[in-house]
Amino acid sequence: MTDHAITSVKVNDVSLNFGSVEVLKQLNIDVHQGEFLVLLGPSGCGKSTLLNCIAGLLDVSSGQIFINNKNVTWDEPKDRGIGMVFQSYALYPQMSVEGNLSFGLKNARLPKEEIQKRVARAAEILQIEPLLARKPMALSGGQRQRVAIGRALVRDVDVFLFDEPLSNLDAKLRSDLRVEIKRLHQRLKNTMIYVTHDQIEAMTLADRIAIMKEGIIQQLDTPHAIYNKPVNLFVAGFIGSPSMNFLEGELTNGAVDVGGTSVSVGRYGFEPGNENWSGRAVLGVRPEHVIVLNGVDTQPFSFDATIEIVEPMGADTIAWTTLGGHSFTFRADSELNLEEGQKIRLGFDPARASLFDAVSGERI
């Protein structure tokens, strides 16, 4: 954690308004040196806008941005020490791959040998040497995105900004390039800020994830913490596929009454100070934390259920049932061969679940 102590990018109280619309509301983020930070959220949450502000492509309405401890709030994008990769690749169509890679360096008036050296190095890292003479039109989507990454790479900067770089690729290429970006990060150890709406990308790549909604960061934490301890209903519902089961009921004396079924949450790890909380609450249970019981009740809470819908996914099966009047999904081994109408016994451990205030949506 020692090398994480150095702040690479600092967003300080940044707000952005378009007319009367507040797109970003007093955001604060510290990105550590060498960290991979993912900005995740539904479309329109302001994540790309924030990235554009960091890049200097948009002026902030108030607040400051620091990169490498230098206040760059008023600096031009080229002077901020960033490289950026765009969703649509944004390759200059009339230039060859080599021209695309060297364009920024020529603008910076670097000597010819230096430009050649950097282009060669980037091409070697990304394995695009055979493509250098080609025009972007003659490249496939994956190759184009590699060139786009190369264009950020040659700039020899400390901070990489990715604006949904994989969203235009098909599923197979996306997972290939995802691994490649991770490998690149391990090799270069640059700070990377990565915008996406794909939670798989976020979970697999990030050191930390910032989940945004309506211009506000809901939670900024490691993927593990975000998955296991979401701070509110929005984060809980946004992360995880299929999404978390929400069972609303009255929480009294360490038990939630869900439509007549009492679920004891005695072993649940309450947030400090909330141990004696009572009132309307939402119990969140991840479908993958539900276990199909085979005669023996191994789980702290168990109940009988009738399967209504089965969705076989290959590796496993998503099944739909009800608990206390609420729709309830769970993930089961596909070997179980679940069928619609089948009666089974399910169980889960409330200690692994999440509890939220039904009114404010905050974690209890």
Partner 1 sequence: MTDTALDIRASAGSQARAEALTGPNGPKPRPIISPRNIMIYGTLFVVSVYYLLPLYVMIMTSVKGMPEIRMGNIFSPPLEITFQPWVKAWAEACTGLNCEGLSRGFWNSVRITIPSVIVSIAIASVNGYALANWRFKGANIFFTILIFGAFVPYQVMLYPIVILLREAGLYGSLTGLVIVHTIFGMPILTLLFRNYFSSLPEELFKAARVDGAGFWGIYFKIMLPMSLPIFVVAMILQITGIWNDFLFGVVYTRPENYPMTVQLNNIVNSVQGVKEYNVNMAATVLTGLVPLIVYFVSGKLFVRGIAAGAVKG
Residues engaged in binding partner 1 (CB under 8 A): 52, 55-57, 76-78, 82-84, 86-88, 90-94, 103-104, 107-108, 148, 151, 155, 163
Residue among 168 and 274 whose Cβ is closer to partner 1: 168
Residue 90: CB minimum distance to partner 1, A = 4
Residue 30: CB minimum distance to partner 1, A = 23
Residue 155: CB minimum distance to partner 1, A = 8
3-state SS string over the chain? Answer: CCHHHCEEEEEEEEEEEECCEEEEEEEEEEEECCCEEEEECCCCCCHHHHHHHHHCCCCCCEEEEEECCEECCCCCHHHCCEEEECCCCCCCCCCCHHHHHHHHHHHCCCCHHHHHHHHHHHHHHHCCHHHCCCCHHHCCHHHHHHHHHHHHHCCCCCEEEEECCCCCCCHHHHHHHHHHHHHHHHHHCCEEEEEECCHHHHHHHCCEEEEEECCEEEEEECHHHHHHCCCEHHHHHHCCCCCCEEEEEEEECCEEEECCEEEECCCCCCCCCCCCCCEEEEEEECHHHCEEECCCCCCCEEEEEECCEEEECCCEEEEEEEECCEEEEEEEEHHHCCCCCCEEEEEECHHHCEEEECCCCEEC
Residue 195: CB minimum distance to partner 1, A = 13
Residue 65: CB minimum distance to partner 1, A = 15
Residue among 9 and 82 whose Cβ is closer to partner 1: 82
Residue among 158 and 163 whose Cβ is closer to partner 1: 163
Residue among 78 and 267 whose Cβ is closer to partner 1: 78
Residue 171: CB minimum distance to partner 1, A = 22
Residue among 196 and 232 whose Cβ is closer to partner 1: 196
Residue among 90 and 291 whose Cβ is closer to partner 1: 90
